[in-house]
Chains A and B, each alone.
Chain A
Amino acid sequence: EADIYQTPRYLVIGTGKKITLECSQTMGHDKMYWYQQDPGMELHLIHYSYGVNSTEKGDLSSESTVSRIRTEHFPLTLESARPSHTSQYLCASSELWGTADNEQFFGPGTRLTVL
């Protein structure tokens, strides 16, 4: 069982609200990721981080922002939520250095619905 946690698991909010999705891992992993998973199952990388004070944009453009002040914590923020942000958000982590085959450990996800 991976030690990576996401809160909340489910969130229903109104348009225009600011929200923060929390992600924490206790494995000491340097690299962390945020994926957006659409109803068709596909995983889209939206943000990643190599370590503290590092944030990078992923393959899919996103209006969300992330921060990495502590190794174990990688929150994602939407300043003004819209219905188009409705999706499943998955956080993951992996070791940074070493071989290329670094397993990614995923959290259980946050299902966000914006009304």
Chain B
Amino acid sequence: GENVEQHPSTLSVQEGDSAVIKCTYSDSASNYFPWYKQELGKGPQLIIDIRSNVGEKKDQRIAVTLNKTAKHFSLHITETQPEDSAVYFCAAIGGVSGAGSYQLTFGKGTKLSVIP
């Protein structure tokens, strides 16, 4: 099955600086890579995703890059703000299971702290 590695596990940045979180995956057949943000006391929420036919995707201060050859993808947050402080999870589709559905495999999470 799919295996997703995520680094770093914790990350502290000064407000206004950039933050980068990196993930690698093992299954070369994976073709969908979402990123989730989990704020304190809440469930994870999708913030951005990328498909294997795209190398980069941006949404305001957030961008994701994908290198299919190297099997890694990264989340980039620019001009960080205190409200960006949260746990971030990367994920990859882990192959086909029954009934034509696909399972997401999550990384272990990165706790981002933005220092004012």
Contact = CB atoms under 8 A, between A and B. Distances in A.
Contacts of A108: 41-43
Interface string B99-112: 11111101011010
B46 interface: yes
Nearest to B49: A101
B101 A31 contact: yes
**Size band of the B side of the interface?**
20 to 34
Contacts of B34: 101, 103
Interface string A78-108: 0000000000001110001100111110111
A101 B109 contact: no
A101 B43 contact: no
Q: Is the interface of B mostly helix, strand, loop or mixed?
A: strand
A48 B98 CA distance: 12
Contacts of B51: 101
Interface of B: 31-32, 34, 36, 38, 41-46, 49, 51, 87, 89, 93, 98-104, 106, 108-109, 111
Given A97-B101, A104-B46, A109-B41, 15 more contacts: A2-B45, A41-B111, A42-B109, A43-B44, A43-B89, A43-B106, A43-B109, A90-B44, A92-B43, A97-B100, A100-B93, A104-B44, A106-B45, A107-B43, A109-B42
20 contacts: A4-B43, A31-B101, A40-B109, A41-B108, A41-B109, A42-B106, A42-B108, A92-B43, A96-B99, A96-B100, A96-B101, A100-B93, A101-B34, A101-B49, A101-B93, A104-B104, A108-B42, A108-B43, A109-B41, A109-B42
